Amino acid sequence: MTRFAAGARVRARAADPDGHTRLPRYASGHIGEVLEVRGTWQLPDEAVRGVCRAEPVYAVRFPASGLWGSGSHSVIIDMWESYLEEAP
């Protein structure tokens, strides 16, 4: 079972980690919607330290108006599960 289902509202982690991450900073703290589960892959933040930890990865859609304050497009970003939390 994955933590988030398609359609779930999620928020990308706002905190900037000490080390490597594949969470693009422009998405930090923003709210998106899960489109689908992409796969289950090693968490890069841990893999870079030699720690193998596989996690579900979700395609999450962020409206440009939320990311940038303007724009009608959307950006879909693949997010490892620990990059995300439930959004109200």
Partner 1 sequence: MSGKHPELPVAARVRRLEERMIAAGLATDAELDEILEQVFTSASPVNGARMVARAWKDPAYHDRLLADGNAAAAELGFGAGAQGYLLKAVQNTPAVHNMIVCTLCSCYPTALLGPSPSWYKSFAYRSRAVREPRAVLAEFGLELPDSTEIRVWDANSEARYLVLPLPAEGADEMGENELASLVTRNGLIGTAVR
Which CB, 8 or 59, lies closer to partner 1? 59
Q: Is residue 22 close enough to count as binding partner 1 by CB under 8 A?
A: yes
Residue type, 43: L
Judged by CB under 8 A, the chain residues 1 through 20 that form the site for partner 1 are none
By CB under 8 A, the count of residues binding partner 1 is 22
What is the nearest approach in angstroms of partner 1 to the Cβ of residue 9? 18
Q: How far apart are CA 71 and CA 87, in angstroms?
A: 22
**What's the token pair of residue 37?**
């589960």
Residue type, 6: A
> End-to-end distance of the chain based on CA atoms, in angstroms?
21
Which CB, 8 or 78, lies closer to partner 1? 78
Judged by CB under 8 A, the chain residues 37 through 56 that form the site for partner 1 are 38-39, 41
Closest CA to 62 of 19, 16, 17, 23: 23
Residues in contact with partner 1 by CB under 8 A are 22, 24, 26, 38-39, 41, 57, 59, 61, 64, 67-68, 71-80
